[in-house]
Amino acid sequence: MDIMKSKNLVQVLYYILLVSTCLCFKAYALDYDYSYTAECLKNPLKPQYNGGIVVNSELNDGLNGWSLAGGAKIGNKVSSDGNKFIVASERKGSYHGFSQTFQLDRDKFYVISGWVQVNHGDDTSIAVIFKTQSGFQHAAWVNAKSGCWSMFKGGLANASGPAQLYFETNNTSIDIWGDSISVQPFSQEEWESHQNQSIEKVRKSKVAIQVVDSQGKPLPNATISVEQRRADFSFGVTINKNILNNNAYQNWFFSRFKVTVFEDEMKWYSTEATQGNVNYSTADAMVELCKSKGVAVRGHNILWDDPNHQPTWVPALSPQQLSVAADKRVESVVAKYKGEIFHWDVINENLHFNFFESKLGPNASTHFFRLASQFDNTTLFLNDFFTIEKTYEISAPANYLKKIKQLRKEGYGGPLGIGLQGHFSLPIPPYIRSALDMLASAKLPIWITELDVTNTTNQVIFLDQIIKEVVSHPAVEGVLIWSAWKRYGCYRMCLTDKNFNNLPTGDVVDKTRVTLSHEGLVGITNAEGYFETSLFHGDYKAIVAHPSVPKSFQYNFTVTPNGGSDHVKSLSYKFTTA
C-alpha cells in the first residue's frame, strides 16, 4: 500500500469488520424453504410447510380431504415400516386418480411440493396440474420410479377461485402413489422479503470501517467513497459486432459492464460459413476490444443441437464427415480462445434438439464435452431454454438433472455448469424459484445466460420481477441480459434507442447494476469514527478524506462471505501520511 505524504504526520488505522449480516426486516410468519432432494428415497420426507393448505398432507387421516378425479380407485395404504400414503389404481385416463381442491387468491404465489412413486417401471413422467377457472396450469414435473419416492417441486401464480390439484401420466397401467404433498401460499410482500433476506445472507456482508488518528482517537466526519473493483456476482449484457465501429455503443456498454457474451460471432455458422474457411477475425476483434476494457467474455457456443442453426454445408455431411468436421470445430475454437474466455456452452439446447445425436449416436453430447475439456479446463456448460421460463416437460428441471446424470454416467467428469437462457413471456415467480431449487441440488454453477422478456405491455415490470428473482436466488452465480444492439431492433428486447439513450428496460438493468456495484456510495464516519454498511462480496477501493489530512488517500479491501456464521472477522490496515 502506498504511503502518502503531507506536512503533518498522521497515523490512521482502519478496522474492517466483516460480520454476517443481521439486518432487520418486517417479521413474516413463514420463511421460504429452498430445499429439494433429488435422491429417490425409501420413505418420503416430511411435507414442506407442514403441508400448507393441503388437508391431510401425510395421509394419516385416511382419505380425508382427498377425492376422486375421473375413473379410478383411490385408497389409503401403509408400507411395511408404517408410512401411510394414497394410491390411485385402475386408472381409466391420463389424469384419473386422487385430487384435492383449493380456493386460490390471484394476489398470492403458491409453492407446490410432494413425493410420488409408481408401482412398476422407472422414469415415469408425471405432471402436477391445477385445473383453474382460466384453464389447466402445469405446476411441476417429476420422473417417478418404483421402489422409492421421488420429490417434485413447482409453483403456481395468476390463478384465483377454485382450483383442483391432480396428477397426470399417459400410461394408465401405472398406479400413482402420493405422500407429503404441500401447497403453500405466499403474499407478494412475503415473497419480496425472501429475496431481500437471501441477498443480505448470501450475497452481502456487513462492513464497519473505523478511521482513527495516530493516537488511536476516532476521526468523525471523515468521508469514505467506496468503489467496487471486482464483483463476485456477475451481471452483464450481450454485445455483437456492431460495437466494433460504434463509439456511442462502446461508451454506453463499457461504462457499465465487466462481463459479456457475444450474440453470434463465436458460433460455428459465423466462423466457418463455408467448409474449411475458418475466419475468427470478427470474434478476435471483439475479444481484443473487451480485453482492452477489462471485460470478461463468456464462450457461446461451440456446437448447436438445433438442425436449423448449423452452417449451411453441415446438414449434407455423412455421419463420418460430420464427426470429423465437428471434432475439428471443437478443437479449433476451444484451443484458440483458451485463457481468453470463461465458460463454454458446449452443445447448445440439447434438451430440445438432437441434431448431433441423430447423426452420431446417443452419446454425442458427452463426446463433445470430453473433447472440449482436453483443450481448456474452463467450466463447460449445458445451455437450454424453457427450464425456468415455462412449465414444459422436455426441458423441465427434472429432465435437466437427468441430462446432467447422463453426462456423468457416460464419462464426462470435468467441470460442469448449468446454463438457463431465460427467454420469458409471462413469468411465474414461484415456478422460477422452485426450478432453481431443484437445479441447485446438482451443486453446480448456475448462470442465467440469455435473459430477456418479450415486448408486451408489462415487459418492464416483468423484467424487473425476473431479475430480482434470479439475482436473489442463492444458487445463481451470474446473469447475462440478452439484448445486443442492432439499429433496426434487437432479438427480442432492446435496452437503448438508436442513439443509446436508455429505454425503460435499460433503466431496469441500470438500477440492478447500480445496486450490485454500489455505484456512488459515499459514507461519513460517526462520532466514534465508524462508517457501517452492507456490501456485495467482491474487491473494493476506499478513498478516505478528512479535514485534518491535506490529501485524500485510498486502500483496497475484499468483502468475503461468512457462510452464515456469526463469527466476526477483522482486518486491520495502517496508513501513514506525511
Predicted confidence at residue 29, as pLDDT, reads 57
pTM of the predicted model as reported, rounded to 2 decimal places: 0.94
In tens, the pLDDT along 401-459 reads 999 999 999 999 999 999 999 999 999 999 999 999 999 999 999 999 999 999 999 99
pLDDT at 19 over 80: no
pLDDT (0 to 100) of residue 6: 32
Q: Facing residues of 156 across strands?
A: 110
> Residue 27's pLDDT is what?
45
Residue by residue, DSSP assigns 472-514 as HSTTEEEEEE-----TT--SS--SB-TT-PBPHHHHHHHHHHH
Task: Write out the DSSP string of 323-351.
Answer: HHHHHHHHHHHHHHTTTTSEEEE-EETTT
Q: What is the pLDDT of residue 26?
A: 45
pLDDT of residue 551: 86
Give the closest residue to 108 by CA, choosing from 475, 436, 429, 504: 429
For the question of residue 450 being annotated catalytic, the response is yes
- What are the tens digits of pLDDT across the range 295-351? 999 999 999 999 999 999 999 999 999 999 999 999 999 999 999 999 999 999 999
Helix residue spans in 160-215 (DSSP H): 188-198
Confidence of residue 217 (pLDDT cuts 50, 70, 90): confident
Q: What is the pLDDT of residues 456-506, one digit of tens each?
A: 999 999 999 999 999 999 999 999 999 999 988 899 999 999 999 999 999
Q: Which residues of 20-96 form beta strands (DSSP E)?
A: 67-69, 73-78, 84-89
pLDDT at position 2, please? Answer: 38
- What's residue 550's pLDDT? 82
The per-residue pLDDT for 563 is 56
Give dist(CA 161, CA 102) in Å, integer.
8
Written as nine digits, the cell of 359 is 447423426
What is the distance, to the nearest Å, from the Cα of residue 253 to the centroid of all Cα atoms in its chain?
A: 23
Contact between 51 and 181 (Cβ < 8 Å): yes
The band of 211, judged by pLDDT with boundaries at 50, 70 and 90, is confident
Q: Is the predicted pLDDT of residue 133 greater than 70, yes or no?
A: yes
Q: What's the mean pLDDT when you consider all of the chain? A: 92
C-alpha 537/C-alpha 559 separation (Å) is 5
What is the share, in percent, of the chain residues with pLDDT greater than 70? Answer: 92
d(CA 436, CA 433): 5
Q: Among residues 450, 477, 528, 532, which one is catalytic?
A: 450
Active site residue 349: yes
- Rounded-to-integer distance, Cα 205 and Cα 21, Å: 5
State the Cα–Cα distance between residues 344 and 373, nearest whole angstrom: 10
Tell me: the pLDDT tens digits for 83-109?
999 999 999 999 999 999 999 999 999
Beta strand pairing status for 161-168 and 124-132? antiparallel
Q: What is the mean pLDDT of residues 65-94?
A: 97
List, for residues 522-569, the tens digit of each pLDDT value.
Answer: 999 999 989 999 999 999 999 999 988 888 888 899 999 875 444 444
Arithmetic mean of pLDDT, 30-38: 97
Check residue 51 and give its pLDDT.
98
Which of 262-266, 325-329, 357-361, 573-577 is predicted least confidently?
573-577
Helices 459-472 & 504-517, crossing angle to 10 degrees? 20
Paired residues of 330 in beta bridges:
none
pLDDT at position 132 over 80: yes
Residue 88 is predicted with a pLDDT of 98
Q: What is the mean pLDDT of residues 119-126?
A: 94
Instruction: Please tell me the total number of residues recorded for the chain in this structure.
Output: 578
Handedness of CA 381, 386, 388, 394 (dihedral sign): negative
Structural contact between residues 449 and 422, judged by C-beta atoms closer than 8 angstroms: yes
Q: Give percent of the chain with pLDDT exceeding 90.
A: 86
Residue 255 makes CB contacts below 8 A (sequence gap 6+) with none
Q: What is the DSSP letter of 174?
A: P
CB-based contact 196:499 (threshold 8 Å): no
Beta bridge partners of 381: 345, 417
125 phi and psi, to 5 degrees? -80, 120
Given a cut of 70, is residue 23 above it in pLDDT?
no
Rounded to an integer, the average pLDDT of 127-155 is 97
From 349, 357, 389, 519, active-site residue: 349
Question: What pLDDT, on a 0 to 100 scale, did the predictor assign at position 271?
Answer: 98
Separation CA 88–CA 70 (nearest Å):
11
Contact at 8 Å (CB) between 543 and 552? Answer: yes
pLDDT of residue 33: 98
Give burial (CB, 10 Å; 0-12/13-18/19+) of 424: buried
Contact 439, 164 (CB under 8 A): no
User: Between the CA of residue 387 and those of 144, 295, 426, 443, what are the distances in Å?
Assistant: 19, 28, 14, 17
Nearest to 195 by CA among 446, 470, 462, 451: 470
> Given pLDDT bands bounded at 50, 70 and 90, which one contains residue 215?
confident
Cell numbers linked to 303:
456446437
Which residues 6+ apart lie within 8 Å of 522 measured at CB?
223, 224, 225, 226
